[in-house]
Structure 1
Amino acid sequence: MEKILIDAFKVKQPIGTFFCGVIDAAKLKEITYSDIRRLEKSEGRELDDFIGIQRPLSETRRKSIEKYIKGPEATFPNSVIISINENNVDWDEEEKKLIIKYESESKKRKIAKILDGQHRVSGFNEENLTFFDDNDQETNFGLLVTIFVEADLSTQANIFATVNLAQTKVNRSLVYDLESLARSRSPEKTCHDIAVLLNKEKGPFYRRIKRLGVATKGVKNELLTQASFVQNILKLMTHDATADRNYYLGKEKGGEKSRLYKLEKTSYDDAYKYPFRASFLNSKDSVIASNINNFFSAVEKLWPNAWSKENKNSSLNKTIGFIALARILKRIMQQFFTVDGIDDSKIYDEEEFLEILDGGVLDEADFENLDATSKSTRMIYNMILENLLLDEDEE
């Protein structure tokens, strides 16, 4: 009989007794499986049966978690919840050890059913089961685990439903706001800092951005969430904010971590594709902030009523308009680069942006009463794009 020993403690709650402990991710991955909820045809019955309790595994989410695990600050402080048959478990009360046992390698894979945490477990592979700690020692990735022994299917389903229904999705604006506390440089931190700066300074974004994604007491008509601002400016700065963040964080930590992460997308073509990238990579955040401010100042000057916070009928001053304008900003910056070359220190003034924006075709009324949908975002973008005074050779 093969065995895995886990340091654990016993917990008693109304649902029953269970165990909490620590196990290496590699070992947990070896003994667990997910019971996906699906339809199964029953013999002699008119109705199909639903079996299993888990949601289908999302490949997109799995890849995202796999990438996250490789980061220098990966953490899973919440436990993976599993259920094990009592025949596969012994409890050593004196040593406080939970003993997971199995007869053979062939039966090892089906010992523990995952009740919560299937995506976390699926994100581990041969490349991320270990990491280098602060002493540059290769260390196994440990996971907290909650183990229910001989829980019936009804109890398993209740645990899954309770855990997942009780979860509240974290406000993305709050997540970006917390980037201000980060020790190292990152695209999200830069975009957050710019959002805060522009929101408090007199200009096109003055008291217009909802910090933390909720209305500020005493401030009216904050039409743009911090998350919307950050997410759309990020697209002008980076292809992968997480990869950039990992690079700067690894560099700050030093040692082996500083060699694990490389800075990507640093060519001329990348600087053209992401117009704020060169400035970001050279720590010239004030240049980025100034160009954003001057562009939107030109928008406000050209279409003052449509950009006004007080205009409830306008779509230009809302999220769909901002998304379209961020894309237009990218287009104009690329036009500048085509003519002048890429200069990470160059600040274009309001009049330079206005000269390209003002094609003399659009009327402010064209931005009114559009539905708040992605289709309207494309419509606004195309309307403004057709109004731009670009070089004839430009598309």
Structure 2
Amino acid sequence: MIKCFLNRVDKMTYSVTFDAIKVSQPVGDFYCGVMKASDVTRISEADVRKIQHDDVGKYLGIQRELKPDRVKKISFYIKGIDATFPSSIILSINEENVSWDESSKSITLTSNEGEDDKIASILDGQHRLAGFNESNFEFENPDGSTSPFQLLVTIFVGADVSTQAGIFATVNLAQTKVNKSLVYDLQALAEARSPERTCHDIAVILNAEVKSPFYRSIKRLGVATPGVKGEFLTQATFVENVVKLISPDPKADRDHFLAESKFWRKNELSHLDRASLEKHFFRKAFIKDKDEVIASNLLNFFDAVRQKWPIAWSKGEKRSSLNKAIGFNALVRVFKDLYKIENSSFEWDKVISCERFLDHLSKCELDDQFFLELDPTSRSSKVIYDSIKKYYG
């Protein structure tokens, strides 16, 4: 149950009531419930003013500056077909603004006469909340109706600044960033088609095929596979490079196919103009569910690379910069150039042979030693690309 009402006073007073549960832990009592995203954003703020003169607050930086790029990405994510925030927004509210009804197990949050609605300080979730606005407070259901986006909230009442700082540190400083390769590996479990899932599937195939230049060379979970030696490329590096050949907006494509399965409707895919297809030349193959076209072209090109530089590409050669992420990044750029040369008419299903790729690479006078002597730093990726390109560009 969520009730929201406004009382007319000298300044509008805002009040919201919702079901909640009371939780007792060593830190003290707090309350958990469900609120509309619109209500949470209305009553809360990252109130730096409350703590900027407090040494604890200044030292821990309880409220961090919002990152516009991150807020923009979250706002876009909220509009997705399967957007979700399963973890709580954590708020701190003064006792005078909170009323707990033990009999009905409900909590009421109210702004006092003469004060604005911002009665809650955000301890965790400020970027998530900043991503909400009038365009995404509601979402569409499969039957076409709309529902308010709801959020789990955890409310600490009357917590002093040092307690707030401790909660902030516990929630944020102990978090472990999820390995990107693991995230891409989990794409295999997705029901809907997506550029990331396609690239993951291709990585798995090329990693498992004995004759592949990537045979047992891709770290599926981003870390070394037990019992396998010499893996030189993470799945994240592979997927993030190849997905750029398919889509300028992987999430929008994923939402398209997810909408088909969830809403039983077909939306028009975007970025099908010639300029987009010339840049993302595997886009049509992906849309037509012909992933083998993508895999075959990649297999043939990197087989040509292996034949041209067998030592530098070898998984056992640790000195090489070619068989590392920087080398792979550069080689994908070379692949794009050569594919366009061989397929100037941009036939979506054309597969370039290993021999044709090798014809181009054979003109390059660089030998294996060049890659063994090149420092494996991030800037070396451009050096590799430029050094190869001058022989065909």
TM-score normalised by structure 1 residue count: 0.91
Measured after TM superposition, the shift of residue 342 of structure 1 is 1.4
1:87 and 2:104 matched: no
Letter in 1 for 2:175: Q
Q: Which among 179, 183, 202 is matched to residue 187 of structure 2?
A: 179
Measured after TM superposition, the shift of residue 52 of structure 1 is 6.0
Letter in 2 for 1:330: K
Alignment of 1:1-80 (within 5 A): 2-36=14-48, 53-80=62-89
Deviations 1:216-266 (Å, cap 9, x if unpaired)? 1111000000111001111111111111111111122125xx47x642211
Measured after TM superposition, the shift of residue 38 of structure 1 is 11
Alpha carbons 1:81, 1:147 under 8 Å: kept: yes
Alpha carbons 2:339, 2:352 under 8 Å: kept: no
Q: From the superposition, tell whether residues 172 and 360 of structure 1 become closer, same or farther in structure 2 (CA, over 3 Å).
A: closer
Unpaired segments ≥5 residues, structure 2: 1-6, 8-13
Unpaired segments ≥5 residues, structure 1: 43-48, 391-395
1:279 and 2:275 matched: no
* Other structure's SS at 2:295 match: helix
Alpha carbons 1:37, 1:56 under 8 Å: kept: no
Letter in 2 for 1:150: G
- How many residues were matched structurally? 378
Alpha carbons 1:33, 1:109 under 8 Å: kept: no
| Residue number in structure 1 paired with 2:4 | none
Alpha carbons 1:320, 1:376 under 8 Å: kept: yes
1:374 and 2:383 matched: no
Letter in 1 for 2:275: D
1:168 and 2:193 matched: no
Q: How large is the RMSD of aligned CA atoms in angstroms?
A: 2.0
| Residue number in structure 2 paired with 1:46 | none
Q: From the superposition, tell whether residues 366 and 37 of structure 1 become closer, same or farther in structure 2 (CA, over 3 Å).
A: farther
* Other structure's SS at 2:17 match: strand
Measured after TM superposition, the shift of residue 102 of structure 1 is 1.7
Alpha carbons 1:33, 1:112 under 8 Å: kept: yes
Q: Which among 269, 275, 282 is matched to residue 269 of structure 1?
A: 275
Letter in 2 for 1:9: I
Alignment of 1:294-313 (within 5 A): 294-313=300-319
Measured after TM superposition, the shift of residue 35 of structure 1 is 2.6
Partner Cα distance (2:311, 2:334) in 1: 19
Partner Cα distance (1:9, 1:285) in 2: 50
Q: From the superposition, tell whether residues 140 and 272 of structure 1 become closer, same or farther in structure 2 (CA, over 3 Å).
A: same
Partner Cα distance (2:218, 2:59) in 1: 46
1:319 and 2:319 matched: no
1:343 and 2:347 matched: yes
Q: From the superposition, tell whether residues 126 and 271 of structure 1 become closer, same or farther in structure 2 (CA, over 3 Å).
A: same
* Other structure's SS at 2:151 match: strand
Deviations 1:138-186 (Å, cap 9, x if unpaired)? 1000000000000000000110111001111000000000000111110
Partner Cα distance (1:299, 1:194) in 2: 18
TM-score normalised by structure 2 residue count: 0.92
Alpha carbons 2:111, 2:117 under 8 Å: kept: no
